[in-house]
């Protein structure tokens, strides 16, 4: 069976004439063309042709509470009536930073920014200013935004490309790359230079598919960085407030020096934050000599959305995360069982409300093993699911996400769609 997407096709033809590639972010493009959304609600998204999909992309993890979550929307509407941008301080900003600090034991102070990329860029600059060193260690397949320092062997949409043109070699020379889940290799990379300012990492890799950390590996990274006076940055743009209300750092019991947050922080609104130890954060201007500024940072609309989102997560408490974990485990187990019954080589990873299947005959634990997966088969799975009313991220190197708007009936529909799609792949 196939859905009709005639209107999306027409709109895509128009978009390619005025938008590079027809999209404003590369991960949104897939063959032959993406569907164009018209509206969303709860766990559903509709396209311009009238097709309804259960949304497992969920704004690439942003919509933890679901689309158009009423408390957030009502709070934002009330703020819109009071104003959209002041460019002077508001009490809202203090409230947001306080809520973030209460949620994350590693954060004494936090500054609001607009995007995850802006947060990680600021975090790296802070680490360099604090240590007065220059080099940054990243991990193969990690994605920390589209700025120069971190676009080296990166994940997400860039996983299909070599290092981006336009990035200066002088910049990439300051970036050292280690392998994820390889403690010995990481130690060797760190010891290769006396000039390492920071290690930036996704504690759970969510931009080369979903790859879980060995807890001993995370502990070793923390031990080595602390021993050598290197700033450890946890990029929790994806996992912050999603894996738990205290992020992956609470889930695994590992404390970084700086944390970056975005996505679920605003439940669909453009807001992010960088936070950490007081002595590091006070390096930021106007207190210190590390410069960061933004017209829209801390704007009252996005800040209101973030405050309302955090309070909603807190009000639901463990029930939200426990329910999503049960749902995610059921879906993951179903994928595994059906694939095994049909003799399809596979690995299924899941944590909290995140999951991904790799079509691979070997374990997937880092970038190199993720890249060996059968991406052709994954694209087939994507199309099979889409035709059955389930929308997942179109790339093997992304992750599927559940939302708190999902019900038992929605999970039953997802399980059915995956079962039928996996059987069709056999």
Q: How far apart are CA 150 and CA 136, in angstroms?
A: 9
Instruction: Provide the greatest CA pair distance for the chain.
Output: 61
Helices of type H across 257-365: 278-281, 300-316, 318-341
Which residue out of 12, 143, 367, 418 is catalytically annotated? 143
181: left (phi over 0), alpha (psi -120 to 50) or beta: left
- Taking alpha carbons only, the member of 286, 199, 271 closest to residue 234 is 199
Helix (H) or strand (E) holding 38: strand 37-41
- Bridge partners of 176? 137
Contacts of 310 (CB under 8 A, 6+ apart): 96, 99, 100, 103, 241, 245, 265
Which of 135, 153, 179, 263 is catalytic? The answer is 263
Q: Is 325 a catalytic residue?
A: no
Is 235 noted as a catalytic residue in this protein?
yes
Catalytic pick among 47, 55, 182, 235? 235
263 is catalytic: yes
* Angle at CA of residue 20, ends 19 and 24, nearest 5°: 70
- Phi–psi pair at 111, nearest 5 degrees: -120, 130
354, containing H or E segment: strand 354-358
Residues forming the active site: 143, 235, 263
């Amino acid at each position: 069976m196939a859905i009709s997407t005639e209107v999306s096709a027409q709109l895509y033809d128009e978009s390619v004439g005025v938008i590079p590639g027809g999209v404003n972010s590369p991960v949104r493009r897939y063959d032959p063309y993406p569907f164009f959304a018209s509206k969303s609600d709860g766990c559903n998204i509709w396209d311009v042709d009238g097709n309804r999909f259960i949304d497992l992309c969920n704004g690439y993890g942003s919509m933890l509470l679901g689309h158009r979550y009423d408390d957030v929307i009502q709070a934002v509407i009330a703020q819109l009536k009071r104003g959209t941008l002041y460019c002077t301080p508001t009490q809202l900003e203090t409230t947001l930073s306080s809520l973030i600090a209460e949620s994350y034991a590693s954060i004494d102070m936090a500054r609001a920014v607009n995007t995850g990329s802006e947060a990680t860029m600021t975090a790296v600059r802070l680490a360099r200013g604090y240590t007065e060193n220059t080099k940054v260690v990243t991990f193969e397949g990690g994605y920390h935004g589209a700025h120069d320092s971190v676009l080296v062997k990166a994940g997400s949409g860039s996983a299909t490309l070599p290092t981006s043109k336009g990035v200066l070699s002088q910049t990439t020379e300051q970036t050292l790359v280690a392998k994820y889940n390889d403690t010995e290799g990481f130690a060797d990379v760190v010891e290769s230079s006396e000039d390492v300012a920071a290690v930036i990492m996704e504690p759970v890799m969510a931009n080369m598919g979903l790859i879980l950390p060995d807890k001993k590996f995370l502990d070793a990274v923390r031990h080595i960085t602390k021993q050598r006076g290197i700033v450890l940055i946890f990029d929790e743009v994806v996992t912050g407030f999603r894996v738990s209300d205290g992020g992956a750092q609470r889930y695994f019991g590992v404390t970084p020096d700086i944390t970056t947050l975005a996505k679920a922080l605003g439940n669909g609104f453009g807001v992010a934050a960088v936070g950490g130890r007081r002595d590091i954060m006070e390096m930021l201007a106007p207190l210190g000599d590390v410069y960061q500024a933004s017209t829209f940072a801390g704007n009252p609309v996005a800040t209101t959305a973030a405050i309302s989102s955090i309070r909603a997560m807190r009000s639901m408490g463990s029930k939200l995360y426990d329910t999503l974990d049960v749902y995610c485990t059921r879906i993951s187990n179903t994928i595994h069982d059906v694939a095994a019954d049909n003799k399809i080589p596979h690995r299924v990873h899941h944590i909290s409300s995140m999951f991904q299947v790799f079509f691979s005959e070997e374990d997937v634990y880092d970038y190199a093993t993720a890249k060996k997966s059968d991406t052709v088969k994954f694209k087939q799975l994507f199309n099979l699911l889409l035709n059955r009313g389930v929308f997942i991220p179109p790339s093997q190197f992304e992750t599927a996400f559940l939302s708190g708007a999902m019900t038992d009936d929605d999970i039953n529909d997802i399980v059915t769609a995956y079962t039928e799609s996996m059987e069709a792949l056999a």
